[in-house]
Structure 1
Amino acid sequence: MVIPPPERVARVTRFLKPFLLRMHFTNKYVSAQVIHTLTATVACSASSQGNLLRPNMELTSDVAAVAKIEKFFGERLLVKGIPAVSIHMKREQKYHGKVKAL
């Protein structure tokens, strides 16, 4: 059984971007996904574990790896027709380093 997401007020959703970027960093890998908040589905995702990106990277968890993921991820978003996303960061994350590169 699928539970639909709660309805938002129209005046709030008009100003919010419906796509949310979530990032996850581990000591070995970096992954990112864009979630469509209205339907609660994953619109696009990319990771340093992927077969397309991993052969081109020396390390899979540094800022250079995030920059390569960012280019690949941006191309996927443009193909799907997603022009802009809002960023979801955890409380302890700051906007620098890997987060800024992505």
Structure 2
Amino acid sequence: MVILPPVRPPRITEFLKPYVLKMHFTNKYVHAQVIHSPTATVAASASSQEKALRSTMAITRDVAAAAKIGKILGERLLIKDIPAVTVILTREQKYHGKIKAVIDSMKEAGVKLL
């Protein structure tokens, strides 16, 4: 008689989406990047610190700058054929202000948020 090992439930990592949005806000700049979590590489990023963007923005740290960064990041994701991104907010981050501006402008650019 052969006793089979117990069937394990699938690991949680199998249900996670591969692309995750990370945002970072400083007193001067807005940074957003999408990370491919299985390989831990940056798939696309946008920052108000980039030279080409800094000249077009009057202020690089407000909600309008965050909206512009989200739009640019969404366009860069669609160019790389990444249609959907997972948004994981930390405990300190609330869906308000700059975070809302980045996420909403990515939605308007055509990226699905999971």
Same fold (TM over 0.5): yes
Q: Give the Cα separation in 2 of the matches to 1:37 and 1:93.
A: 20
1:84 match: 84
Q: Secondary structure at the match of 2:83?
A: coil
Percent identity of paired positions between Structure 1 and Structure 2: 66
2:59 match: 59
Listed one character per residue, the Cα deviations across residues 14-42 of structure 1 (whole Å, up to 9, x for unaligned) are 54321000000011101011000011111
Q: Give the Cα separation in 2 of the matches to 1:90 and 1:76.
A: 24
The answer as to 2:5 corresponding to 1:23 is: no
Please report the RMSD computed on the Cα atoms of aligned residues, expressed in angstroms: 1.7
Q: Give the Cα separation in 1 of the matches to 2:50 and 2:95.
A: 25
Of structures 1 and 2, the larger Rg is shown by 2
Runs of 5+ consecutive residues of structure 2 not aligned to the other structure: 1-8, 103-114
Listed one character per residue, the Cα deviations across residues 36-92 of structure 1 (whole Å, up to 9, x for unaligned) are 001111111110000121111110000000111111111100000111111132211
- Return the TM-score normalized by structure 2: 0.75
Q: How many residues align?
A: 94
Q: Give the Cα separation in 1 of the matches to 2:37 and 2:94.
A: 23
Runs of 5+ consecutive residues of structure 1 not aligned to the other structure: 1-8
Q: Give the Cα separation in 2 of the matches to 1:89 and 1:53.
A: 26
2:34 match: 34
Query: Which fold has the larger relative contact order, with Cα–Cα distance below 8 Å and residues 6 or more apart in sequence?
Result: 1
- Return the TM-score normalized by structure 1: 0.84
1:47 match: 47
